Structure 1
């Protein structure tokens, strides 16, 4: 016996063979594009000092902040932006940014420039020892 979905597909006359089959859940049919990852680039970013080091008191070890509003790529609910959108921040600045909740407002308050994080991420990615062309 055919399921209702299989019967619908068969009656539509469309050939569904060869198409990607999304994995379970209620959002069947919605395929999320992959997230670009580059562990060497992220590790390289850990060697830098906080991007806000010259503008105030930095506190704690450097972590990599993945931009909430990426300069390239995408971000979704429950998903961080890809590794090209990472910037080194000390733990204190990183916590302050997330406590503020609005990345552009945070950078406007600290640097006077809302695009600061995106510009820093772009420059760091293009100057990275591990840069590679990404489709």
Structure 2
């Protein structure tokens, strides 16, 4: 077996004094991964909000199911992960059939929502505009209905 030789590292000339190194100093060849990590997203848990789905109409098919409508958690981007349920504020009120389609769509939640909810809403908004003009469109504008936009 050949003996191992260690050569002294030469300075690269780069100022590393402002970089976030771990306590105890910098270890050669190591990266402080805490500086690269994203913060944990806030997850809201509200049982009363989830239970309020009962008795509502399904947001996809519009049917009333006598209390069989439940909250479906939307897992998009960083809202959830493996083994993590999305926050309770990211839910849709769906009947069993639509909830099953929602969870089993191989293309993901975002595509299902776009096709089954957003597209229907946009068509509804257009038809309302055709019937009532610009005033009807303003009342259907979801962004204008946001609390931060109250005038």
TM-score normalized by the length of structure 2: 0.45
> Which structure carries more relative contact order (alpha carbon 8 Å, separation 6+)?
1
* Structure exhibiting the larger radius of gyration computed from Cα positions: 2
TM-score by length of structure 1 reads 0.49
